[in-house]
Amino acid sequence: MSLKPLTGAKRLRELLKDPEKLVLCPGVYDGLTARLALSIGFDAIYMTGAGTSMSRLGWADLGIATLDTMRSNAEMIASLDPSVPVIADADTGYGGPIMVARTVTQYARAGVAALHIEDQAQQKRCGHLLGKVIVDREEYYARLTAAVHARDSTESDILIIARTDARQTYGFDEALERLQKAVEIGVDIVFFEALASQDEARKVCEVMKKTNTPVLLNMVPGGVTPNMTAQQAKEIGFRLMVVPGLCIGPVIRSVVSEMEHLKEHGSVSKLNGSEGVVRGFKLCGLDECMEIDRKAGGKAYDTVGKSET
């Protein structure tokens, strides 16, 4: 609940001043996964749009999530520790230039450190799926111009990330040219989605280094982009690396296993002891809330988390 003087956006800008540093961001999609990432001590975290769509709506990442869904989730995650930067998916900006400007303003007010706007059509899909429809350059540039203007006119520290998905449809050169124009427009970071090789990755980083523009790597194991470690990404020249699906697979595997055990045996497994709920409460601020209550003269939570003897 602390409100520290250094906001997430300012902190991210500070982190990016070090040309030798790679900002590694685990993908999170709700309060619990965000709390877990914060407890591990990552410099920044990433709110995945795919994870948000699945956890909040129960639907695949096919452009179903709206601005309200995405912004409210990002705001909740960013509020858990305002000093830790949250980079958030903002899809296409959810409409024309006016809506893009509104998206940037709302994300900034929600405490988001950075957001990315892409060049897919409104009926979009996950960046590593086939069949993406890409808007023309003028429409993409209009989105980015609106985003940059919203950032500047509100005097916000939020960083604008230009994402292009054009590689699959129009090829590498077209995608790179779009990002070069994005830098001219005034974005802070570029995001080349679905790079097909490390050679392509290296070329993008080399080109963007000339303008001192950080490049973000989206690492989706099993996706189009070759698997890379954080160290390999850093050596190639990336400045940020997000791993959006980090929590999704482990959660599915572990929860399905427990549910199957319950269905078969009628009880929880030995690995799922009673301490799980208390551990979750502590992870999610129980001790901090108890301290607030004590300082206010209350005793309502003195026995919370204690077992009967």
pLDDT, tens digit (0-9, with 9 covering 90-100), for 72-107: 999 999 999 999 999 999 999 999 999 999 999 999
Q: Which of 89, 119, 188, 200 is catalytic?
A: 89
Q: 3-class SS at 309? A: coil
Encoded tokens for 122: 């409104």
Q: Which of 143, 163, 167, 239 is catalytic?
A: 163
Phi, psi for residue 191 in degrees, rounded to 5: -140, 105
Q: 3-class SS at 64? A: coil
Instruction: Check pLDDT > 80 for residue 117.
Output: yes
Calculate what percentage of the chain has a pLDDT beyond 90.
78
Encoded tokens for 246: 């980090």
Q: Which of 29, 73, 81, 91 is catalytic?
A: 91
163 is catalytic: yes
Q: What are the residues facing 26 on neighbouring strands?
A: 243
- Reported confidence tier of residue 303, pLDDT bands at 50, 70, 90: low
227 is catalytic: no
Residues 164, 191 contacting (CB under 8 angstroms): yes
pLDDT of residue 309: 37
235-253 per-position pLDDT tens digit: 999 999 999 999 999 999 9
* One-letter amino acid for residue 155 of the chain: E
Encoded tokens for 107: 């994300």
DSSP 129: S
Q: Which of 81, 119, 193, 200 is catalytic?
A: 193
Q: Which of 35, 71, 81, 118 is catalytic?
A: 118
pLDDT of residue 1: 44
Residues 283, 39 contacting (CB under 8 angstroms): yes
61 is catalytic: yes
pLDDT of residue 33: 98
137 is catalytic: no
118 is catalytic: yes
pLDDT averaged over the chain?
92
pLDDT of residue 124: 62
Q: Which of 11, 35, 71, 116 is catalytic?
A: 116
**10 Å Cβ neighbour count for 32?**
15
pLDDT of residue 285: 86
Q: Which of 25, 29, 35, 61 is catalytic?
A: 61
Instruction: Check pLDDT > 60 for residue 308.
Output: no
pLDDT of residue 278: 81
CA of 132: how far to CAs of 163, 263, 308, in Å? 14, 40, 57
Pinpoint the alpha helices (H) of 41-165.
49-52, 67-79, 97-109, 137-153
- Reported confidence tier of residue 299, pLDDT bands at 50, 70, 90: confident
Q: 3-class SS at 292? A: helix
155 is catalytic: no
193 is catalytic: yes
258-298 per-position pLDDT tens digit: 999 999 999 988 878 666 788 888 889 888 888 888 888 88
pLDDT of residue 163: 98
Whose tokens are 């129960």? That residue is 58
CA distance 235 to 204: 13
Q: Residues near 261 by Cβ (< 8 Å), separated by ≥ 6? A: 267, 268, 269
Q: What is the mean pLDDT of the segment spanning 200-227? A: 96
Instruction: Check pLDDT > 60 for residue 126.
Output: no
Q: Which of 126, 141, 143, 200 is catalytic?
A: 126
pLDDT of residue 279: 85
pLDDT of residue 62: 87
Whose tokens are 């450190």? That residue is 113
pLDDT of residue 169: 92
136 is catalytic: no
75 is catalytic: no
Calculate what percentage of the chain has a pLDDT beyond 70.
91
DSSP code per residue over 214-276? -EEEE--TTSSSPP--HHHHHHHT-SEEEETTTTHHHHHHHHHHHHHHHHHHSS--TTS-THH
